[in-house]
Amino acid sequence: MKIDIFPHILPRRYFDRMLQVAPPGMALQKRMAGIPVLTDVEARLRIMDRYEGYVQVLTLANPPLEVVGGADVSPELARLANDGMAEVVAKHPDRFPGFVASLPMNNPEAAVREIDRAIDELHATGVQVFTNVAGRPLDLPEYQPVFDRMARRDLPVWMHPARPATVADYAGEKRSKYDLWWAFGWPYETSVAMGRLVFSGIFDRHPHLKIITHHMGAMIPFCAGRVGGGLDQLGSRSDDPEDGAALARLGKRPIDYFKMFYGDTALFGAWHAMESGLAFFGADHVLFGTDMPFDPEKGPGFIRDTIAAMEKMRASDEDKAKIYEGNARRMLRLRLK
């Protein structure tokens, strides 16, 4: 079986409400209307039929709830999204063995309540957060209860990058040009969020916490040499006392904490990058994910290309079986035969 743990969907009632409350200028209708399978489950199933043994654990598509609506609106959006995904799972349990709950992170108290509701009542298999909360870092104390609760629940946190075009690449410019905010900004954003969580001591507090990073840990596997020896010297090359203090608080080397994250295979067919991620994280920390349906073909492309990359990647059959389904079955409590 091929268990895709990072495809995206927009349940219809949630999507309609999102369009009503989203700030002007988000251009959601134009962006999403061109990808029918985000809202059309039957069209999604027809694409999935092309790939033998292929099932999906559903996650909500970008944008983050906290960007769509304020703290007074985001809890409603989370309920609509999670109820909608749960309905799809209930209707097609053999095709969608689980879903990942979305949280109103700009309302942390409501986010913790939604964790409990989604897991206890809807049987969510984890939660999704973004790499920042409307520009605020995840390591702030106000978000710690979310991670505390997920550690107690022993279910994973999916972490999706978030960085808009309005974050300019150069001072003096108003926006990032040429989609570089996405192509390079998202991997940077994910890597920084991982680093901030590491130095917050999150894995010392919760050594069994599972955080699944979209796109195979972004820059971290490729930059392992810089992460290793470079961050071992934190505080010795700057005058900021916070740097050295952060390193001193950790129980082991920074790079060892980075290896505690998990990565997915959503690398758009780049098999050589998948090999790098596998070498860094190890087979027990890599899960099959595609980022469907954001390929140029609006659905089938990333599934096909990721499966092809899995076949081309130099790894044992045992390791590929873990990535395709074994790790998901072990970690997600899926309702699978």
| Average pLDDT of the segment spanning 242-262 | 95
User: Is the model's pLDDT at 106 over the cut of 60?
Assistant: yes
Q: Which residues contact 30 (CB under 8 A, 6 or more apart)?
A: none
The more confidently predicted of residues 203 and 19 is: 203
User: Is the model's pLDDT at 34 over the cut of 70?
Assistant: yes
| Average pLDDT of the segment spanning 97-106 | 98
The predicted pLDDT at position 23 comes to 86
- Residue pair 147/157 in contact (Cβ under 8 Å)? The answer is yes
Long-range contacts of 84-90 (CB under 8 A, 24+ apart): 84/11, 84/12, 84/13, 84/14, 85/9, 85/11, 85/58, 85/60, 86/118, 86/122, 86/123, 86/124, 87/11, 88/9, 88/11, 88/41, 88/58, 89/58, 89/123
When pLDDT is cut at 50, 70 and 90, the band that residue 30 belongs to is low
The predicted pLDDT at position 74 comes to 98
Tens digit of pLDDT for each residue in 111-124?
Answer: 999 999 999 999 99
CATH 3.20.20.140 for domain 2-332, yes or no, is yes
User: Is the model's pLDDT at 27 over the cut of 70?
Assistant: no
Q: What percent of the chain has pLDDT over 70?
A: 97
When pLDDT is cut at 50, 70 and 90, the band that residue 66 belongs to is very high
Tens digit of pLDDT for each residue in 128-178?
Answer: 999 999 999 999 999 999 999 999 999 999 999 999 999 999 999 999 999
Whether the model clears a pTM of 0.95, i.e. scores above it, the answer is yes
When pLDDT is cut at 50, 70 and 90, the band that residue 244 belongs to is confident
The predicted pLDDT at position 59 comes to 98
The predicted pLDDT at position 238 comes to 83
| Average pLDDT of the segment spanning 259-286 | 98
| Average pLDDT of the segment spanning 60-74 | 96
The predicted pLDDT at position 44 comes to 98
User: Is the model's pLDDT at 28 over the cut of 70?
Assistant: no
- Going from the C-alpha of 226 to that of each of 190, 195, 220, 236, 255, the distances in angstroms are 16, 13, 9, 15, 9
Tens digit of pLDDT for each residue in 190-243?
Answer: 999 999 999 999 999 999 999 999 999 999 999 999 999 999 999 888 888 898
Rounded CA-CA distance 197/298 in Å is 33
Query: Where are the chain's structural domains?
Result: 2-332
